[in-house]
Amino acid sequence: MPIGDWFKKEQKDDAQSAEKRAVPDGVWEKCPGCNEALFIKELERNHMVCSKCDYHFPISAQQRIDNLTDHGSFEELWAEMHSEDPLHFIGVKAYTMSLDKAKKTTGLQDAAVCGRALIDGRRVVLGVIDFKFIGGSMGAVVGEKITRTIELATAEEIPVITVSSSGGARMQEGMISLMQMAKTSAAVARHSAAGLPYISVMANPTTGGVTASFATLADIIIAEPRALIGFAGPRVIEQTIKQKLPKDFQTAEFNLQHGQIDMIVDRANMKRTISRIIDYMGS
């Protein structure tokens, strides 16, 4: 989902939330991929992936961490860092209101959750972006935390892993957000120059300033099935070229076919795959 759609959805969610609360906690969840009603317990056991059609439900940063790291090994860093609203930005609503709402819904201070972890007993530093926090957009906090994540891995000479789902740079922090692309990319350059591994996982969706910086600068790029990955949003492209886009345009499969990523890996196999790759990369 490009960031524009995220904003639309958020507004719709506001309207629908009252209605939603009236329905008791569901046992079933309808799959957006195949419309099948799925038993939630089973869906959770299956890493939030539809067993019928392989649709990957969006998951939180915490769920991703649980999915990728050894049980109980994650030690979060810089959790209290938060935005200062440097531009005093007011859109349809004040940026501070969007921040407050995102903090409430996610329990996070900003979109990135970073820290040390073990993967099959191997030490790594992990940075995960949660799409639920203002479309996973990168402002000063996400940029700083991802940079520190990379720097820590460089200093400790261990692999760094990022998991992205982001609409790109955060508009509400203007040029400060754009400059985070340069900051994170420069940190990747230093990590790489030190001969250390970097693996980037891209989930649905990863676009804009995040694909045009650290997320595509990894040694190995892995995508989740069907994830939307690209630079420009599909609607912007459609409006510019004034023609229909190919059916699978900007999907993970499209990106694999065009040589933009190394592989597409199911959520269930993600940890094992990363572990096997790191094993080839020394230390």
Partner 1 sequence: MKRFAYDFERPLVQLETKLDEMKRLESAEKEDIAADICYLEEQIQKLRMRTYSKLTTWQKVQLARHPDRPKMVDYIEAIFTDFIELHGDRAFKDDSSITGGFARLDDEKVMILGHQKGRNTKENIAWNFGMPNPEGYRKAIRIMRLADKFGLPLITFVDTPGAHPGIGAEERGQAVAIAESIMELSQLKVPVIVSVIGEGGSGGALAIGFGDRIIMLENSYYSVITPEGCASILWDGEVSAERAAEVLGLTADKLLELGLVDTIVKEPLGGAHHAPALVARNLKKEIVSALDELKAVGKESLADKRYEKLRSIGHYAEPIKTLTK
Binding residues for Zn(2+): 31, 34, 50, 53
d(CA 283, CA 281): 7
Of 51 and 67, CB closest to Zn ion: 51
Shortest approach of partner 1 to residue 13 CB, angstroms?
15
d(CA 129, CA 64): 9
Could you say which of partner 1, Zn ion, none residue 3 binds, taking C-beta under 5 to 8 angstroms by partner kind? partner 1
Site for Zn ion in 30-59 (CB under 5 A): 31, 33-34, 50, 52-53, 55
Shortest approach of Zn ion to residue 32 CB, angstroms?
8
Note the maximum CA span of the chain: 55
Q: Is 204 in contact with 227 (CB distance < 8 Å)?
A: yes
Of 38 and 220, CB closest to partner 1: 220
Region of 107 (left: φ > 0; alpha: ψ -120 to 50; beta: rest) is left
Shortest approach of partner 1 to residue 103 CB, angstroms?
13
Of 57 and 137, CB closest to partner 1: 137
State yes or no: cis peptide before 197, omega within 30 of 0: no
Could you say which of Zn ion, partner 1, none residue 231 binds, taking C-beta under 5 to 8 angstroms by partner kind? partner 1
β-strand partners of 263: 222
Could you say which of Zn ion, partner 1, none residue 86 binds, taking C-beta under 5 to 8 angstroms by partner kind? partner 1
Shortest approach of Zn ion to residue 268 CB, angstroms?
15
Shortest approach of partner 1 to residue 174 CB, angstroms?
4
Residues of this chain that interact with partner 1 (CB under 8 A) are: 3-4, 7-8, 77-84, 86-87, 89-92, 140-141, 144, 147, 169-171, 173-183, 185-186, 188-190, 193, 207-209, 211-217, 230-232, 236-237, 240-241, 245-246, 249-250, 254, 258-260
Q: Is 85 in contact with 96 (CB distance < 8 Å)?
A: yes
Could you say which of Zn ion, partner 1, none residue 55 binds, taking C-beta under 5 to 8 angstroms by partner kind? Zn ion
d(CA 171, CA 169): 6
Q: φ, ψ for residue 264 (rounded to 5)?
A: -110, 125
Q: Is 165 in contact with 58 (CB distance < 8 Å)?
A: yes
Of 106 and 213, CB closest to partner 1: 213
β-strand partners of 128: 113, 163
Q: Is 209 in contact with 5 (CB distance < 8 Å)?
A: no
Radius of gyration of the chain (CA): 18
Shortest approach of partner 1 to residue 281 CB, angstroms?
19
Of 22 and 241, CB closest to partner 1: 241
Q: Is 117 in contact with 73 (CB distance < 8 Å)?
A: yes
Choose among 183, 185, 207: nearest CA to 198. Answer: 185
Could you say which of partner 1, Zn ion, none residue 50 binds, taking C-beta under 5 to 8 angstroms by partner kind? Zn ion
Binding site for Zn ion (CB under 5 A): 31, 33-34, 50, 52-53, 55
